[in-house]
Amino acid sequence: MLPIQTLPAVFAATLVSGLSTSSQIPLQYAPKIDGAWENLGLKPSPNDTAPLIFDTVNSLLQHWPNTRYRNGHTVVPGTIPIGTLLYHGRADSSLPDAPDWTAVDPEHSFPFCGSPGLLNGNASAPGCWHLTIAVTRPLKVLYFDGSSAVNMKFGTLDSQDLLLWGEVRPDMWLAERKRIDGLCAWGKQLGVDAYVRMEMDFEVMLCDFHSGVKLVSADYLTGWWPSRMPPPAFDLSAPPPASIPEDLRRIMEIVSLETVRGGSWHNRYPGDTRISLDLSKLVSFYDTELVPSLIPHRTQTERWDHRLQNISTEDVEAVTARVRAVLSDEESESVGSGVDWKTLYRVVVDRYADRLELLQHLLHTLPPSTEIEQHARTVQMQLRIMLAVYIPAGLRPSENEGDSTWAAPVWRACATRHTAPIHELLSLIPSERTLLNALDGTQREICRVVVGMWERGVRAGLDMLFPSESPVALDPGVILRKWKRDADALVTWLDWSVWVKCLPACGPEEMCYLPTWPYFFRRLDDSEDDPEFSWKRPQPRCVRQVAPYERL
């Protein structure tokens, strides 16, 4: 994964010689990770943002997780490569002379290609202009995560407000023209060409249509929709006007669904790959070293409700300075170590996502009491499988009841093997230290819980390869219940969006959907009292993707 020549020579030598012996002597170059490995009961601090940063990194540029948690906390510089197409619906055929919005998918720009003639029956204005634009040199962009193009007063715009105005500005929730002009002016000296945000799909706010892009085609299309705004945006707080004829209402449903469909193509990993992010320059408001002032505001607060409005002035300044530094080509902070953070993180999700899901399933589906012990052995085997490459030969359980310290080498190896070489790199820049800490913290907790569960099973004599000489007489039913609590707590702590899906899976005429702005605005009035429809805490459901449509 990591090219061996990037490691210090002495470390590479250790690695190579380690391959030729079967001994499991702990790595000489142990990562400098806080804390002892003896106490498997030591839970992470509730203030720990490692799982938040971990899930953030694994969700960048993916539509699904950023629809689920709308309030972005992270900005990442990146580039859009040459040849990438962008789309723009408008009233005439010329390129805009001011900063303007473009879509990455025509499904998202077409609804902006309105034909006012449709509504008033003006036959001389039947169509609308739809522009296709190509990138002609790598565009330097800054990406705001979350549903950052969503005009709401509940936190989606916080990170932009802070960079732009130094404070959260609820009064500016609809000031999109001021926002794009302001951001483009702010980033001009830093060479930022565009800002990437997300709503129903990803959008690129392009600062200059006469630099770095060219017009490929201006097409006069048959419009479907009478407004230059997409469907329910006539008035964000009111139902669509009754004056809209029935056939246009039906078109509105189609256009809405197809816009969501465009976004859904980027739902899961690797997300929208047309934007290439440089994770070594990631700046997050979840970074507690950079932004300590928000720690107390997150206690007792669910992630849906995390806001940036109570940040201290010093912390805003620190974040702004960091963003400027990573965007500036002159600063030393802008050259990372070369570690592929996206892949490094992804490997952890790949290795644990379906295994933890299987584990949870086994613990939630218990057989009749006569088969309980066998079931517990099956679970124990799954735990051992997860840890197999970290269990040294010759390791023996402690004779002392209640003593779990013997499992410390397994926990340590499980938690640190993946990042140990990265700790040896001297060239990490501050953003990469944040990424490394979050990765370490996440693995430490996964391994703490899994090793703790496995260790308990060993002591109860449930492990096939460790038949205990004197198994503690523990009721397998009791162990299964404790395991279930542990697994549930870990899955809740991790809260990975890969586990959020429609169950049972949707039918062939359906798609899995999370309540997406602005569609839920049509029912804001009744939503508060409707447990089936929680737009504030989006839950997945299947919706039809062909007529008859359902309300989005």
User: Which residues contribute to the site for ligand NAG (CB under 6 A)?
Assistant: 45, 47, 117, 120, 122, 124-125, 295-296, 309-310
Q: Which is nearer to ligand NAG, 309 or 320 (CB)?
A: 309
How many whole angstroms separate alpha carbon 496 and alpha carbon 52? 9
Rounded to an integer, what distance in angstroms lies between the CA atom of residue 284 and that of residue 159?
10
Between 165 and 406, name the residue whose CB sits nearer to ligand NAG: 165
- Find the residue with minimal CB distance to ligand NAG: 125
Give the span between the Cα atoms of 225 and 228, in whole angstroms. Answer: 8
CB of 117 to ligand NAG, least distance (A): 6
Cα 193 to Cα 99: distance, rounded to the nearest angstrom: 10
Residue among 296 and 507 whose Cβ is closer to ligand NAG: 296
- Cβ proximity to ligand NAG: between 295 and 408 the closer is 295
* Distance, C-alpha 509 to centroid of its chain: 27
Nearer to ligand NAG, 295 or 353 (CB): 295
Peptide bond into 476 cis (omega under 30): no
Query: Nearest distance from residue 492's CB to ligand NAG, in Å?
Result: 18
Are the beta carbons of 471 and 497 closer than 8 angstroms? no
Residue closest to 478 by CA, chosen among 462, 499, 495: 462
Please state, as a whole number, how many other Cβ atoms lie within 10 Å of the Cβ of residue 450.
Answer: 26
DSSP 8-state code for residue 138: P
CA atoms within 13 A on the CB side of 231: 25
Q: How far is the CB of 170 from ligand NAG (least distance, A)?
A: 8
Residue 119 vs 512, nearer CB to ligand NAG: 119
Q: What is the 3-state secondary structure (H, E, C) of 23-67?
A: CCCCCCCCCCCCCCCCCCCCCCCCCCCHHHHHHHHCCCCCHHHHH
Nearer to ligand NAG among residue 126 and residue 467 (C-beta): 126
Q: How far apart are CA 220 and CA 132, in angstroms?
A: 11
Q: Both tokens of residue 371? A: 């088969």
Query: What is residue 217's DSSP assignment?
Result: E
Closer Cβ to ligand NAG, 309 or 527, answer by number: 309
d(CA 82, CA 134): 8
Residue 366 CB coordination number (10 Å): 15
Q: How far apart are CA 466 and CA 456, in angstroms?
A: 12
Of residues 73 and 375, the one with the C-beta less far from ligand NAG: 73
CA pair distance 467, 459, nearest whole angstrom: 9
Q: Report in angstroms how near the CB of residue 304 gets to ligand NAG at its nearest.
A: 16
CB of residue 171 vs ligand NAG: minimum separation in angstroms? 12
